[in-house]
């Protein structure tokens, strides 16, 4: 099970996530309370083990800006959260993770039409931090490529095991679910990662 901890803002938080077993570290370059400078990410990334994948999160930014930031930050993946076109994604110099806001089964049908290494299913914008989660049963029953599916949207250490059991994704993604007062919490990251890896290891 791949675990992605998103919204990392400091080297210390990144190192804590990696220490506890995170595989992907997400850095936000779109407008957000978790937005970071690409230069900082470049410094953080250079201090992390080589096998850790650095993911940059973008939303409706220009192609030139995304490419420039990806180079400065030393990214491994570009995650697109806006209305980026298929042709936009195909011009990216790195593998793409495309995020989709899921409200119904119709939203799930759009996933495989998009050229991406991974499809990230998430709650609609504005839903995070409100205790909401996706309809795991609906996603679990959908005909989706599990080896390309990243599950996000309201995950916490308390519910990630149930989510994985219902959906069987290749990866899970969390941001606010491992924070306390808006700051990454080492104990919550450890609990989340342990729950995700344990569930996957048990084949639940």
| pLDDT above 80: residue 45 | yes
CB atoms within 10 A of CB 63: 12
Our answer to whether residue 122 is catalytic in this structure is yes
Q: How confident is the model at residue 109 (pLDDT cuts 50, 70, 90)?
A: confident
Residues whose CB is less than 8 angstroms from the CB of residue 185 and which lie 6 or more positions away in sequence, other chains included: 178, 179
Average pLDDT over residues 66-82: 98
Q: Is 70 left (phi over 0), alpha (psi -120 to 50) or beta?
A: alpha
From 6, 23, 137, 173, active-site residue: 6
The arrangement of secondary structure in 2-202, i.e. its CATH architecture, is Alpha-Beta Barrel (3.20)
pLDDT tens, residue by residue, 110-168: 888 899 999 999 998 766 656 789 999 999 999 999 999 999 999 999 999 999 999 99
> What pLDDT is recorded for position 117?
97
From 122, 137, 173, 185, active-site residue: 122
Average pLDDT over residues 163-189: 96
Our answer to whether residue 6 is catalytic in this structure is yes
């Amino acid at each position: 099970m791949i675990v992605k901890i998103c919204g990392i803002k400091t080297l210390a938080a990144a190192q804590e996530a990696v220490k506890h077993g995170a595989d992907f570290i997400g850095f936000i370059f779109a407008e957000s309370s978790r937005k970071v400078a690409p230069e900082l990410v470049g410094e953080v990334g250079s201090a992390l083990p080589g096998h850790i994948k650095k993911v940059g999160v973008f939303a409706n930014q220009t192609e030139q800006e995304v490419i420039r930031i990806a180079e400065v930050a030393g990214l491994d993946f570009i995650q697109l959260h806006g209305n980026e076109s298929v042709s936009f994604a195909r011009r990216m110099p790195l593998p793409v993770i495309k995020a989709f806001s899921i409200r119904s089964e119709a939203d799930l049908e759009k996933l495989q039409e998009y050229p991406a290494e991974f499809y990230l299913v998430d709650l609609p914008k504005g839903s995070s931090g409100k205790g909401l989660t996706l309809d795991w049963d609906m996603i679990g029953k959908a005909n989706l490529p599990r080896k390309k599916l990243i599950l996000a949207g309201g995950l916490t250490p308390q519910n990630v095991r149930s989510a994985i059991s219902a959906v069987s994704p290749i990866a899970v993604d969390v941001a606010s679910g491992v924070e306390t007062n808006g700051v990454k919490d080492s104990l919550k990251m450890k609990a989340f990662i342990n729950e995700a890896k344990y569930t996957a290891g048990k084949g639940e």
